[in-house]
Amino acid sequence: MDAHGVMTLVAVGGGLAVLLWVLAKIGRALAGLAELLAALAVVGIALWGLVRAGAWIVRQLVTHWRTCLTLVAAWAWCRSLGWVSLVVTLAVLVLAQLVWWRLDAVSYDQWCGRWLRGWWLRWALYGRKLTGWLNACGLVVRDASVPVDVTVSLIGRGRGRGRNTVSRSENRTAGVAVPKLLSVRSGASWDEVRVRLVAGQTPEEFDDAARALAVARKVTRCQIRELEPDVVSIDFMRRDLLASPVTCLPVPDLVAVDGTGVDLRAVFAGATEYGKPWRLPLVGTGSHTLVAGATGSGKNSVMWCPLVAAASAIRAGVIRVSGIDPKAMELSYGLGIFARYGQSGKEALEVLGALLDELENRKRVFAGNTREVPISTEYPVELLEFDEIGALTKYTDRKTRDLIVEKLAILTTQGRALGFTVRGYVQEPTKDTVPVRELLPRRIAMRLTSKTQVPMVLGDGAYERGAWANRIPESAAGVGYVWGEGVREPLRVRAGWVPDQTIKQLEHYVTNGGAQVISLTDRRTGEGRSA
């Protein structure tokens, strides 16, 4: 090999050596960089996990602060005094609660029971099952890009593990979003389960699913209340407080009359499903009333119970009652309390004519002097009880029918400020049967024969929001629904049962002697109007 070849080999060898050295340096640098990146990744994952864990702890402390405080207190107690003392203390607390509950169940539930029950129901029932109920009732929002079978399988896997995948803090899994459970409140008869809606949902969707939710919870009644634009309360009736008949107020004793007054704007009529008194106005705004229900539904309890409660006002002459009784059976049993009474169409026209004469007289006296007649014995509340109103507003000759409807329309449109109140009772609540239906703003639906009759009485949307009047059993006479009194949800009530002997006692009380009644026309506070 000549000198040129040798030099070439030396040059190539030197170049390869330099290249290998450079590659070795680069490899060590890359290895160091890889180690650095790996270390940073590990640190980042650790920090991310710590942040998530901290956020979860904060959420639990905020959402379940009572439970967290209880656990912390129990841990501190065990650290300082031991497990035995904790068990003994818990046993004493349980025994004290049992004694308290047995001695005074009402105060126990008000101050202690409802909080413990709400906490327990959240963890033991609604926290575990609500997501499944909402999914089964179609109250979840699914991503259209994810197949339904995949979404359902994901939910099923979560439920099969004993905890639902979509019930985590975000309430989301692949392709599905579920309303978030905010809180559970438990009263004497109702559970209030508050949830936050997800984007794309409306409270009306929950209204439509109320019946399905009631079946899922295995209760007879479920009601939806809108608390905020994106928060609703799903209320489940755990116990029916209206299962037993409600007793009307007793008729005052003729001898022991003390002259106490009756609030004519809030007269006792029965009880509500929340265990509170149900009151009706016999004068003023909302006093014109239509009560609809099938035969035997308890319409006459709505008639007689307020009359018994206002017995002293009737006896004193602060209320003057008139009656129209086409079937001549119901009102005639207490005939003595009625200042005017009629049965036939002709007699009904005479009663209505007398009321209209008094109406015109009050116009002449008070026009330009006041906007509302002061109630007194000289100008009492003129209360008309019109039983089976449909018999004379549809099922009679045309001339009589038209005259009765005309006079009723005048009374209902002009009578409120002048102290006149009309209360009608009907079995068939159609517009043809009761042409003045829209002029009777307060509506009460007792047991009805069909679902379609509910909106006829209470208005559109009443059935969807829980007024299931067609589902009231025949054994629950006096139970009905009231809707539209300043609230979005129907109110279930039960009128006080008035036996025959009480009606006779009322008649005897009203027609014997005189009682003094405080006029409460100007009173705007106190017990307030009925719910």
Helical H runs in 367-467? Answer: 390-393, 398-414, 453-458
**How many Cβ atoms are within 10 Å of 169's Cβ, its own excluded?**
12
The answer to whether 421 touches 381, Cβ cutoff 8 Å, is yes
* Per-residue H/E/C for 74-142: HHHHHHHHCHHHHHHHHHHHHHHHHHHHHHCHHHHHHHHHHHHHHHHHHHHHHHHHHHHHHHHCCCCEE
Place of tokens 């009333």: 289
Residue 356, both tokens: 């209209």
What distances in angstroms separate CA 159 from CA 126, 147, 154, one per listed residue?
A: 14, 19, 9
Q: Which residues pair with 386 in a beta bridge?
A: 324, 424
Asked whether the beta carbons of 264 and 313 are under 8 A apart, the reply is yes
Cα 446 from Cα 36, distance rounded (Å): 78
Annotated binding site, which residues? 293-300
Which residues are CB-neighbours of 224 under 8 A, at least 6 positions away? 203, 206, 207, 210, 232, 233, 234, 235, 465, 466, 489
**8 Å CB contact between 35 and 41:** no
CA distance 252 to 527: 20
CA distance 60 to 122: 14
Contact in structure between 142 and 152 (CB atoms under 8 Å)? no
Check: CB of residue 387 under 8 Å from CB of residue 325: yes
Q: Within 13 Å, how many C-alpha atoms sit on residue 226's CB side?
A: 14
Asked if 231 contacts 198 with a C-beta cutoff of 8 angstroms, the reply is no
Binding-site annotation: residue ranges for ATP? 293-300
Among 422, 424, 353, smallest CA distance to 381 is for 422
